[in-house]
């Protein structure tokens, strides 16, 4: 397996892990606390990474890290949960799957990447596959929910493109920690205002939050950002189709949910989209800028 294949496989662990969040949320976490869940996913994980690295941003990277954290974490989590609460899960998941379409459409103009035609076809095929996998007949639509779902897709697409464009000025652990802390802090006030103080947490709740914060956020975003910085953005974004696929597979295997033939066909389309998009064209790319020389000042020690 060459280096690009290894990077793809490592990056794919992120959306595969995110697919477990649906099962963990429904089975282990307190109900009706979406913003609390989002905050506790991001902030503790980010603080842990900052404690390990003891590096803070310098200069313009204060606002860049805040912008990336807001797009990739804070706004994405908040809008995703609003969409999930106002729409059936299948509609919300399909709207979120628009993210790879946006990245493949914009990567050429924003990043100068050569996006293979097959990658664009794969993005559209993946959206169709997700729709077949999760949409149910008679699914209702809510205008605010639709806007929130499209907003979450736009936020994470913009986050992917800007992460790729700006690169990282510090080691990956610190770079990821900055974004998780920024995104978590953005969510604190809305969480307290809209949901109030956290409830008393059970052991199951704590185990669920621990899973979401460490493997589901800290480790997953390390893999995700590493892939974004090393691979074409359009190729990385297509891997996000693995999240609803994993959620559907776990619902069938763990919760005993049935899968109709149409859903199985949707899952097959998702796998085809990911496989074709991951390798279509294999366009050349330049590595993202990484500060590796000791003489470069990457951050302030704390």
Distance CA 212, CA 136 (A): 27
Q: Is 301 helix (H, G, I), strand (E, B) or coil?
A: strand
**pLDDT attached to residue 75:** 92
According to DSSP, residue 290 is labeled B
Reading the block at residue 120, the tokens are 């664009």
Reading the block at residue 253, the tokens are 């295997």
**pLDDT attached to residue 6:** 87
Distance CA 221, CA 176 (A): 7
Report residue 112: phi and psi, to 5°: 75, 20
**pLDDT attached to residue 248:** 81
Angstrom distances, CA of residue 274 to CA of 77, 86, 221: 23, 29, 19
Distance CA 182, CA 271 (A): 33
Are 30 and 205 within 8 A, CB to CB? yes
Longest CA span, the chain: 61
Are 90 and 134 within 8 A, CB to CB? yes
**pLDDT attached to residue 285:** 47
Antiparallel, parallel or unpaired: β 55-56 and 300-301: antiparallel
**pLDDT attached to residue 300:** 55
Q: Is 168 helix (H, G, I), strand (E, B) or coil?
A: strand
Where along the chain do its domains lie?
A: 3-283
Q: What is the pLDDT along the chain (302 residues), one digit of tens a residue?
A: 578 788 889 999 999 998 888 888 888 988 888 899 999 999 999 999 999 999 999 999 999 999 999 999 999 888 887 877 776 655 667 777 788 888 988 888 888 888 888 888 888 888 888 888 777 666 666 778 888 888 988 999 999 999 999 999 999 999 999 999 999 999 999 999 999 999 999 999 999 999 999 999 999 999 999 999 998 888 888 898 888 888 888 888 887 877 788 888 888 888 888 888 766 645 444 444 544 433 344 555 55
């Amino acid at each position: 397996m060459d280096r690009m294949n290894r990077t793809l496989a490592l990056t794919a662990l992120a959306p595969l892990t995110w697919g477990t969040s649906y099962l963990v949320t429904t089975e282990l976490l307190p109900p009706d606390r979406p913003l609390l869940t989002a905050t506790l996913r991001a902030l503790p994980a980010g603080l842990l990474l900052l404690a390990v690295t003891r590096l803070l941003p310098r200069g313009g990277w204060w606002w860049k890290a805040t912008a990336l954290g807001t797009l990739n974490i804070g706004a994405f989590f908040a809008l995703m949960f609003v969409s999930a609460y106002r729409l059936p899960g299948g509609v919300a998941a399909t709207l979120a799957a628009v993210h790879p379409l946006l990245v493949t459409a914009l990567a050429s103009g924003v990043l100068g990447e050569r996006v293979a035609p097959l990658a664009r076809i794969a993005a559209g095929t993946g959206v169709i596959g997700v729709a077949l996998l999760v949409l149910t007949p008679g699914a209702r639509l809510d205008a605010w929910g639709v806007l929130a779902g499209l907003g979450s897709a736009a936020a994470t697409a913009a986050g992917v493109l800007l992460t790729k464009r700006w690169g990282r000025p510090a080691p990956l652990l610190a770079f990821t920690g900055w974004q998780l802390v920024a995104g978590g802090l953005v969510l604190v006030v809305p969480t307290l205002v809209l949901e109030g103080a956290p409830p008393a947490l059970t052991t199951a709740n704590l185990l669920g939050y621990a899973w979401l914060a460490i493997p589901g956020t800290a480790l997953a975003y390390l893999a995700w950002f590493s892939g974004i910085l090393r691979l074409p953005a359009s190729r990385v974004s297509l891997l996000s189709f693995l999240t609803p696929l994993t959620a559907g597979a776990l619902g069938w295997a763990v919760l005993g949910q049935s899968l109709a033939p149409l859903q199985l066909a949707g899952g097959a389309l998702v796998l085809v989209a990911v496989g074709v998009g991951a390798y279509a064209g294999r366009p050349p790319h330049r590595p993202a800028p990484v500060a590796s020389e000791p003489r470069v000042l990457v951050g302030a020690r704390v």
